């Protein structure tokens, strides 16, 4: 990769190099050190720039264009203006079903995961033996929770023949199929997400460790109870980490796809109770090949996520506590 080496390009003085024994003698170059650094940086960033244009940002702009067209692959895109958006908001009950299901899913998953991971992290941080074992056991589900494999397991666990119903049977309760009943299907998805609280927990553990012990000791001297210490010290000082976790969880939850697909076998059923927004988008794009409409949906998602993120950032000034005090 000689192009990346910081030889000066045009008009370099021809100082002969003395073999590759070691470092080269410094070349007299026409570029200032800073210009050299600039050029080098941009060279190092070449793959990233290519990715940005071709894979990351470029498609987003094309997607915007497509959202104003009707395009089902077999014929070229046909400009229809705002029709996709109008249809989406006024004539598409599936869209609203997907929005409802997604908000339900995000609205329950994020708080539950947050609370669970914070509580467990705090508990683990109190010096119990077996810390590493507990941490591992709670963390592993988040590694496999997003996989098709676990999605299939979950579908069986909560199916009419699943172990959940068998467990209920021990108490004499006859269970239904939890994944095939509209009222409960979305809850099985939420439960799966909550099952993966381990990743957030690990982040909290790291954050807890950063809190100076002296603060707690000072509070103990003042006779504060554990609960008070938690409210007055832990939470405020942990608030940046909480904030970070909320953002991460929210963005992830909005984009959740695999488990909804597996649990409903790609249908979003029954009766659209598991039709997450991304699943509906997938169906419009890759099953019905309605690329224009799906692009419009993608942009709406983008705007919503951006709005949520902005809202969270704005709210941060009220409750996120940076710096020392």
Partner 1 sequence: MPATAHVRSRRLCFVIFASALLIGATMLPASAQKLSGNIRFTWWGSTTRNDKTERIIKLFEAANPGVTVTREPGEFNSYWDKLTVQSASGNQPCSITMQSRYLAQYADPAILKPLDDLVKAGTLDVRGVAPAVVDSGRGPDGKLYFIPSGVFYFTVLMNKTEIEKAGLQLPDDNWTWDDYASFARKLAAKLPSGTYATGNFGEAFDAFTNWVQGRGEVLFKPDGTIGVSKATIVDYFKYWEALRKDGITQPADKMAEIANNIIDDTLLAKGRIVMDARPANQLDAHQKVLNNAMPGQELVLHTYPLGPKGTGNDIGSNGFAIGASCDAASTRIAAAWSNFFLQDAQAAAIYLSDNGVVTVDKFRQDQGSNPKATPGQRQLISLYDRVAPTAKAAYFRARGYAAMQQSLTSAYQSVAFGRSLPEDAADALLRQVARQTKD
Partner 2 sequence: MATTEWREKPRRSPNRGRGLGEMTPSQVFLAHGALILLALIMTYPVVWMVLASFRPQGEIFADLVLIPTHWTLENYVTGWNFFGNVTFTTFFFNSFVICALAVVGNVLACSLAGYAFGRLEFRWKPFWFAIMIGSLMLPIHAQLIPQYIAFMKIGWVNTILPLVVPKFLATDAFYVFLMVQFMRTLPKELEQAAALDGASYWQRFTRIILPLCLPAIVTTSIFTFINTYNDFLGQLIYLSGLPRLTVPLALRLFVDSGGGQSSFGSMFAMVTLAIGPVLGFFIAAQRYLVQGIATQGFK
Under 8 Å between Cβ of 274 and 260: yes
Q: SS3 string of 84-136?
A: HHHHHHHCCHHHHHHHHHHHHHHHHHHHHHHHHHHHHHHHHCCCCCCHHHHHH
Q: How far is the CB of 140 from partner 1 (least distance, A)?
A: 29
**Do 320 and 239 meet the contact criterion of CB atoms below 8 Å apart?**
yes
How far, rounded to the nearest angstrom, does the alpha carbon of residue 107 sit from its chain's CA centroid?
15
Letters for 244-283 (x = contact with partner 1 by CB under 8 A, - = none) are ---------------------xxx-xxxx-----------
| 79 three-state secondary structure | strand
CA distance 280 to 261: 10
14 binds, among partner 1, partner 2, none (CB under 5 to 8 A by kind): none
Is residue 94 within the footprint of partner 1 (CB under 8 A)? yes
Q: Which residue in the set 12, 15, 52, 307 belongs to the binding site for partner 2 (CB under 8 A)?
A: 52
Q: Does 268 bind partner 2 (CB under 8 A)?
A: no
Helices 235-254 and 291-319: crossing angle, nearest 10°?
A: 170
Greatest pairwise CA separation for the chain in angstroms: 90
Among 6, 8, 125, 160, binds partner 1 (CB under 8 A): 160
Interacting positions 163-182 with partner 1 (CB under 8 A): 176-177, 179-182
Taking CB under 8 A as the criterion, the residue among 9, 15, 24, 182 binding partner 2 is 24
Q: Which of residues 142-201 bind partner 2 (CB under 8 A)?
A: 143-144, 146-150, 152-157, 161, 163, 166-167, 170, 195, 199
Give me the 74-93 binding string for partner 2, x by CB under 8 A, dash otherwise: --------------------
Contact status: 87 vs partner 1 (CB under 8 A): yes
78 CB-near residues (< 8 Å, 6+ apart): 69, 70, 71
Judged by beta carbon, residue 210 or residue 315, the one nearer partner 2 is: 210
| Distance, CA of 128 to chain centre | 31
93 binds, among partner 1, partner 2, none (CB under 5 to 8 A by kind): partner 1
Q: Which does 59 bind (CB under 5 to 8 A by kind): partner 2, partner 1, none?
A: partner 2
**Rounded to a whole number, what is the distance in angstroms from the first to the last CA of the chain?**
50
Contact letters (x/-) for partner 1, 57-76, by CB under 8 A? -------------x--xx--
Specify the stretch interacting with partner 2 by CB under 8 A; choose among 55-63, 87-95, 179-187, 268-276.
55-63
Of the candidates 21, 93, 129, 317, which one interacts with partner 2 according to CB under 8 A?
A: 129
Q: Which of partner 2, partner 1, none does 153 bind, CB closer than 5 to 8 A by kind?
A: partner 2
Q: Please check whether residue 207 is in contact with residue 241, taking contact to mean a CB–CB distance below 8 angstroms.
A: yes
Helix axis angle, 57-66 to 291-319, nearest 10°: 120
Contacts of 134 (CB under 8 A, 6+ apart): 124, 128
Q: Which residues would be at the binding site for partner 1 (CB under 8 A)?
A: 70, 73-74, 87, 91-94, 159-160, 176-177, 179-183, 265-267, 269-272, 286-290
């Amino acid at each position: 990769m000689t192009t990346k080496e910081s030889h000066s390009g045009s008009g370099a003085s021809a100082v002969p190099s003395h073999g590759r024994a070691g470092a080269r003698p410094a070349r007299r170059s026409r570029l200032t050190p800073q210009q050299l650094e600039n050029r080098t940086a941009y060279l190092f960033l070449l793959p990233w720039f290519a990715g940005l244009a071709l894979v990351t940002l470029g498609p987003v702009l094309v997607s915007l264009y497509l959202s104003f067209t009707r395009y089902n692959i077999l014929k070229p895109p046909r400009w229809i203006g705002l029709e996709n958006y109008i249809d989406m908001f006024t004539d598409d009950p599936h869209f609203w079903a997907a929005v409802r299901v997604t908000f339900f899913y995000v609205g329950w998953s994020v708080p539950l995961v947050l609370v669970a991971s914070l509580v467990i992290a705090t508990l683990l941080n109190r010096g119990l033996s077996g810390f590493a074992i507990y941490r591992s056991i709670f963390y592993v589900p988040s590694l496999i929770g997003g996989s098709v494999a676990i999605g299939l397991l979950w579908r069986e666990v909560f199916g009419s023949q699943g172990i959940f119903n068998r467990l209920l049977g021990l108490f004499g309760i006859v269970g239904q199929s939890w994944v095939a009943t509209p009222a409960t299907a979305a809850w099985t998805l939420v439960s799966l997400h909550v099952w993966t609280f381990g990743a957030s927990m690990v982040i909290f553990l790291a954050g807890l460790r950063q809190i100076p012990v002296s603060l707690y000791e000072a509070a103990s001297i003042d006779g504060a109870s554990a609960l008070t210490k938690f409210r007055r010290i832990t939470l405020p000082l942990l608030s940046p980490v909480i904030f970070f976790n909320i953002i991460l969880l929210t963005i992830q939850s909005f984009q959740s796809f695999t488990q909804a697909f597996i649990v409903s076998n790609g249908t979003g059923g029954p009766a659209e109770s598991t039709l997450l927004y991304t699943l509906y988008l997938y169906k419009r794009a890759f099953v019905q090949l309605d690329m224009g409409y799906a692009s419009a949906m993608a942009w709406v998602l983008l705007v919503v996520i951006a709005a949520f993120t902005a809202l969270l950032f704005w709210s941060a000034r009220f409750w996120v506590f940076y710096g020392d005090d």
